[in-house]
Structure 1
Amino acid sequence: MQIELHKNTAAILALAVALGFFLPEPAERLEPLVIPALFVMMAFSMAGIELRLGAGKEAATGFLLNYLFLSGLILLLAPVLLEEEALVLGFVVMAAAPPAVAVVPLTKLLQGDVRLALYSEALSYLGSLVLTPLIISVFARGARVGVEETAEIVLLLILLPILASRQVGRLKIDPAIPINAGLFVVTYIVVGLNSTAISTEAAGVLLIAFARTFLSGAVVYAGAVLAGVDRPQRIAYTLFASFKNLGLAATVALLLFGPRAGIPAAVCILTETSFYILLSALAGRRDGDCRIRARP
């Protein structure tokens, strides 16, 4: 079976991380590419999302799981488990970021409720225009970052890509190519700039990354099972409770607080990729069990 690498996000992220560790030197020279790479990635990612509100209570639940539950968990753990201000600020930026745009296609791949994911994503990105600068300005106040500075970055990296997405959607370009290319560039640069720190100083960061990805996702999935939520909705809710837009978080952290503030996003790229691989394996096992039971 032929594998199209440009559509395999997990493989591309793994390659970017590996190169960041084993060939980090070019990352510093390539740092100016972070903003244009993220802009292109965001524009093509949002091209398939209709930015209108819908699905009512379900969409609001996905939004709250990401911005209340997941962001709250990050903001609670970071100041307790970390002493270095730059690392804490990196997690503050992550908490302020909207959910990963990849939640929608990942929901589809895992046979979840795509419509729910789509509306929750739209609501989250519209809300992020206010929430992202607000959270950063409130929780990073000691770093002397004001609302105006963060609002300018949000306009550049969220609002303008959203506006551009209305046009790039008309282009006859496979969106997987620019999306994964942008993910590769941002991930490589962030990991390359912090390769030494990630491998030697990130124990506390890794603990938070595990909790805000695996633990949060497992808690929400288990809670949804107990509440009698159907599996397609459980999948969507689990992803919103465990995935942040780490490309955006890494870029904003680099711009506002320097390279070390990008370490949390770099480490969480590893845990989110691992968590998706786990969910995919569990989904495959479930499908296999269903096929076995269906045999006469």
Structure 2
Amino acid sequence: MIAAAPPAIAIIPLSNLFKADAPSSIAGLAGAYLGALLIAPLIVLGFVKDIPLNYAGIILLAFELIFLPLAISRIIVEKDWDKIVEPYGGIIIDICFFIVFYAITANNRDILIDWSSDLSSIAIIAFAIIFLAAFAILKAGKFSHTAENKITSFLLLGTMKNYALAGGITLIIFDRQAALPALIFAAVNFIYVNWLKYKKQIIDESIITKKTPPQNLTK
């Protein structure tokens, strides 16, 4: 489900923070969510065709978690309610994430306490996928002489998945253990986002230092 999950909603506020190209981020996010309506069910059906599933439930779940939020967001924008919701957007997203990941953690408490090599392997894979993808996107952007803000948009879209969505769907459709990769990927993604913030802070401080003229200490 992680592979089929669309990019994270947090890309929008992070695009503002990292000064990414907003139109590219929004267009990519919207396109990915619309594409996920088709791609996610097909991937699930392709990989778990031998497991009896409630296909109507999968389609309904995808509709509720992907299409419905998009439709509601359009209504909010058209009614000009976004200015009311915007100050609380981060809090709302954090609460939703907390509910999903708390449910996954609570259901897998015994497995997480008895940490196994399988979980370590998932964590290593998560680190490799996220950070190597980031490295590849940065290198490709530099090689193609793409604008810095567009590279940042592609970086966020290409490395940040909606792990809460993937974990929630997996927890409902499959068993509790199947949702653990989404939880681990989310933890690694938290480290990754903080690494991006630290990297940005270093760059900003470097720019400020270069712009600050040296003070003349002699009188």
CA distance in 2, matches of 1:231, 1:273: 23
Alpha-carbon RMSD: 1.8
How many residue pairs get aligned? The number is 204
Counterpart for residue 112 of structure 2:
198
Q: Does 1:217 align with 2:134?
A: yes
Give the Å deviation of 1:146: 6.4
Counterpart for residue 12 of structure 2:
104
Identity %: 25
Give the Å deviation of 1:205: 1.0
User: SS of the residue aligned with 1:111?
Assistant: coil
CA distance in 1, matches of 2:159, 2:15: 13
Give the Å deviation of 1:166: 3.4
Show CA shifts across 1:235-266 (max 9, x none): 11111221111111011000111211110011
Show CA shifts across 1:8-40 (max 9, x none): xxxxxxxxxxxxxxxxxxxxxxxxxxxxxxxxx
Following TM superposition, the consecutive aligned residue runs of length 4 or more in structure 1 with deviations greater than 4 angstroms are: none
Checking the alignment, whether the CA contact within 8 Å between 1:198 and 1:267 is kept in structure 2 is: no
Q: Does 1:164 align with 2:62?
A: no
Question: Where does structure 1 lack aligned partners over 5 or more consecutive residues?
Answer: 1-92
User: SS of the residue aligned with 2:6?
Assistant: coil
Say which is worse superposed, 173-182 or 146-155, in terms of deviation: 146-155
Letter in 2 for 1:288: E
Checking the alignment, whether the CA contact within 8 Å between 2:8 and 2:160 is kept in structure 1 is: yes
Counterpart for residue 199 of structure 2:
282
When Rg is computed on C-alpha atoms for both structures, the one with the higher figure is: 2
CA distance in 2, matches of 1:227, 1:148: 44
CA distance in 1, matches of 2:195, 2:155: 13
Counterpart for residue 146 of structure 2:
229
Counterpart for residue 87 of structure 1:
none
User: SS of the residue aligned with 1:239?
Assistant: helix
Show CA shifts across 1:257-287 (max 9, x none): 1211110011011110100100111111101
Question: Where does structure 2 lack aligned partners over 5 or more consecutive residues?
Answer: 214-219
Counterpart for residue 185 of structure 1:
99
Residues 168 and 222 of structure 1, relative CA distance in 2, 3 Å threshold:
same
Counterpart for residue 216 of structure 2:
none
CA distance in 2, matches of 1:119, 1:213: 22
Counterpart for residue 134 of structure 1:
42
TM-score, normalised on structure 1?
0.64
Residues 185 and 222 of structure 1, relative CA distance in 2, 3 Å threshold:
same
Q: Aligned match of 2:23 in 115, 121, 139?
A: 115
Give the Å deviation of 1:204: 1.6
Checking the alignment, whether the CA contact within 8 Å between 2:34 and 2:66 is kept in structure 1 is: no
Say which is worse superposed, 102-111 or 283-292, in terms of deviation: 102-111
Residues 198 and 241 of structure 1, relative CA distance in 2, 3 Å threshold:
farther
Counterpart for residue 189 of structure 2:
272
Checking the alignment, whether the CA contact within 8 Å between 2:168 and 2:179 is kept in structure 1 is: yes
CA distance in 1, matches of 2:133, 2:53: 29
Checking the alignment, whether the CA contact within 8 Å between 1:136 and 1:150 is kept in structure 2 is: no
Show CA shifts across 1:154-213 (max 9, x none): 112212222233345527342222221111211222123223423512012112211221
